[in-house]
Structure 1
Amino acid sequence: MTSRAAPVVVITGASSGIGRETARRYARRGARLVLASRSRSALETVAAECRELGAQVSAVPTDVTREGDVRALAACAAAEFGRIDVWVGNAGVFSYGAFERTPERVFRQVIETNLMGQVHGARAVLPYFRRQGSGTLVLVGSLYSRVSSRDISPYITSKWGLLGFAEVLRQELRGERGIRVRIILPATVDTPIYQHAANFTGRRVHPLPPASSPARVARAIIKAPRRRRFATSVGQAQRSVIPLHRAAPPVYDVVTSAAKSTLELRDADAELTDGTVFEPPAEASPTTGGWRSPGQRMLFAAVVLAAVSGLTAWSQRKPSD
């Protein structure tokens, strides 16, 4: 691939997890990369990795909650490489805790990062796409864009809002044949986001098993601009709960609450923390969080079995006279 043909790809949240893995994979394909995250030192680590893989890379420290930062990111990409072909909106933060125990400032910051950060990205890049007559906006949502769970209200709110925002953009851009909007909906992914999460539960956080690898999500992101499909799910096992959420909300609530108490929140000795909601890690974080294990699928299978049993019992109830 010649440098002239190589796509220009902007990736926010590029210093760890899904973003870091996506940057590496695009680098191997010869893409010209513009990488963004809050920490300059973390960003430079990932940029150096991508350069070693043969990519041209520009690193632009960016706080996606600041619209000016995001507009500057788009301007830097266009100035450096002359265009923007793909914008990957991936920056995100997480918070655990009941709604009334979650500080207002944390709730707001999760929304500002996960939802408004994507809005800022769309506002910044769409004018470039229009001038070019082409470009793909790839938004990283979540399974939690379609279902809910207790104790993560700001994250759920941001991801439901993001899916709605993406659908509106899809509708408004239907007449723009060269401009596409795609959303990726991963279930649990083995990244450091759980170690980085704010936590107001007093219990230790574990992701709901089974966890997909960041590589699977990165592959979906890279394929998204070439697909006709608007939304791509990653993690089919957990996606199976969507019909339960729609068909039997009371059963869904019982099953997911039990899973939260037994699988996700354990050991009542965790300190209360803001995590990285306001301040990024000083150094680049790994792509994975070390959460995958052979026992995870067995645990999830037990949860699914309980859900099926509960749904069967619920559906067979006779209405009272």
Structure 2
Amino acid sequence: MPPEAGAPAAPGAPGAPSPRVVWITGASSGIGLATALACARRGDRLLLSSRAPGPLEEAARQCRALGAADVQVAPLDTADDDAVRRASADAVRRWGRLDVVVQNAGVAAYGRVDEVPADVLAGVLRTNVLGAALVAAEAVRTFRHQGEGTLVVVGSVLGRITVPWMGAYNASKFALRGLVRTMQQENRDVPGIRISLVAPGGVDTPIYDQSATVLGRRNRPPYPVSSPGHVAEKVLRAADRSAAWHRELDAGWANPAMKAAYGLAPGLFDLLSRPAMRALGFTRAERPDGPGNVLAPRPHEEGLRQRR
């Protein structure tokens, strides 16, 4: 019986892509989980990391069921340099190399910058900037030793524009984009190394329920909303060595328009940003203030999409 139209070829079948060794951070939820599942369907060998061991094991189970060639888990905090180095070294020992690293782990906080607790502000920057930098640095060290490899960093359209009540997240994603561009420049001397940034707009993932807040309102992804699978497709496109090299890929059809408005009409953009954010970024439902998963994981809120 022929395979379903659009379904990936089984590993080893004629025309099927050869399995890669792929390390994904933030792999137990949202975009990271969707990327892991997409790589599993392709028959890749997977190293999955996040701070939540239980959901991480469930992600590994799903990946094995979908046909991943091999799956290992490495629960870790990406801002722990020793843990990051150990995970990378263990993958190389097991499989002989690392082909692709997807740096996806991230957290968010909602509230005016002067009202968000200092430990939460620091926590967002610790995960989104320091943690991302440590994973990216370890990936590049490995790739330079191998002479090749692909690093895909999941950023955000909020690395190009800003919105109110997300100051720490905005700052972290602007920093992340600067980090990626710098590393692209620094590694031009090794043609086999590819470094890309994927910048989603609003995505239907649990990060909105997991985020810290001091606003007492439930957050939601602003329109237009992409699925985690759509962003995973962009990540895989960036990771595909047969594809043209991309510095930065948008994942969201409205991203170009938002970036243009932010740059060409900043005064009007700022005027409209508060009412737009109130209407599109929050529901009417109340939500207790707190640090969310910024300071510690919340395993019960992990998953592919936001709870309804």
Q: Same fold (TM over 0.5)?
A: yes
Aligned CA distance change for structure 1 residues 41 and 266 (closer, same or farther; 3 Å): closer
Match for residue 175 of structure 1 among 183, 189, 207 = 189
Cα distance in 2 for partners of 1:128, 1:235 equals 31
Match for residue 281 of structure 2 among 264, 274, 282 = 264
Who is 1:280 aligned against?
297
Contact kept? 1:43, 1:284, Cα under 8 Å: no
Amino acid corresponding to residue 282 of structure 1 in structure 2: P
Cα shift readout 1:82-105 (whole Å, capped 9, x = no counterpart): 100000000000100000110111
Who is 1:139 aligned against?
153
Who is 1:42 aligned against?
55
Residue 273 of structure 1 deviates from its aligned partner by 1.1
Contact kept? 1:187, 1:239, Cα under 8 Å: no
Cα distance in 2 for partners of 1:26, 1:220 equals 12
Cα distance in 2 for partners of 1:5, 1:204 equals 43
Greater alpha carbon shift after TM alignment, 45-54 vs 237-246: 237-246
Contact kept? 1:41, 1:284, Cα under 8 Å: no
Aligned CA distance change for structure 1 residues 191 and 269 (closer, same or farther; 3 Å): closer
Residue 263 of structure 1 deviates from its aligned partner by 2.5
Match for residue 157 of structure 1 among 140, 150, 171 = 171
Match for residue 129 of structure 2 among 112, 115, 123 = 115
Who is 1:228 aligned against?
245
Residue 5 of structure 1 deviates from its aligned partner by 4.2
Cα shift readout 1:226-278 (whole Å, capped 9, x = no counterpart): 33221000111243111111111110011111111222234374311111111
Cα shift readout 1:161-187 (whole Å, capped 9, x = no counterpart): 000110011111112100010000000
Match for residue 7 of structure 1 among 6, 11, 20 = 20
Who is 1:210 aligned against?
224
Aligned CA distance change for structure 1 residues 45 and 283 (closer, same or farther; 3 Å): farther
Indicate the percent of aligned positions where both proteins have the same amino acid.
37
Amino acid corresponding to residue 51 of structure 2 in structure 1: R
What is the alpha-carbon root mean square deviation over aligned residues? Answer: 1.7
Amino acid corresponding to residue 32 of structure 1 in structure 2: R
Matches within 5 A, 1:24-103: 24-55=37-68, 56-103=70-117
Who is 1:319 aligned against?
none
Contact kept? 2:17, 2:42, Cα under 8 Å: no
Cα distance in 1 for partners of 2:149, 2:262 equals 35
Match for residue 210 of structure 2 among 177, 184, 196 = 196
Amino acid corresponding to residue 21 of structure 1 in structure 2: A
Who is 1:296 aligned against?
none
Contact kept? 2:206, 2:301, Cα under 8 Å: no
Paired residue secondary structure (1:240): helix
TM-score normalised by structure 2 residue count: 0.90
Cα distance in 2 for partners of 1:43, 1:270 equals 26
Contact kept? 1:143, 1:239, Cα under 8 Å: no
**Corresponding pairs, count:** 291
Contact kept? 1:205, 1:264, Cα under 8 Å: yes
Alignment of 1:253 with 2:270, yes or no, is yes
Cα distance in 1 for partners of 2:228, 2:218 equals 22
Cα shift readout 1:48-97 (whole Å, capped 9, x = no counterpart): 11111121100010111211111111111111111000000000001000
Residue 287 of structure 1 deviates from its aligned partner by 1.1
Contact kept? 2:194, 2:245, Cα under 8 Å: no
Cα shift readout 1:278-321 (whole Å, capped 9, x = no counterpart): 12123472211157xxxxxxxxxxxxxxxxxxxxxxxxxxxxxx
Amino acid corresponding to residue 40 of structure 1 in structure 2: P
Paired residue secondary structure (2:36): helix
Aligned CA distance change for structure 1 residues 4 and 185 (closer, same or farther; 3 Å): closer
Contact kept? 1:45, 1:284, Cα under 8 Å: no
Amino acid corresponding to residue 203 of structure 2 in structure 1: V
Cα distance in 1 for partners of 2:266, 2:94 equals 50
Task: Identify the structure with the greater helix proportion.
Answer: 1
Contact kept? 1:39, 1:283, Cα under 8 Å: no
Cα distance in 2 for partners of 1:190, 1:45 equals 20
Paired residue secondary structure (1:139): strand
Cα distance in 2 for partners of 1:270, 1:17 equals 21
Cα distance in 1 for partners of 2:156, 2:192 equals 26
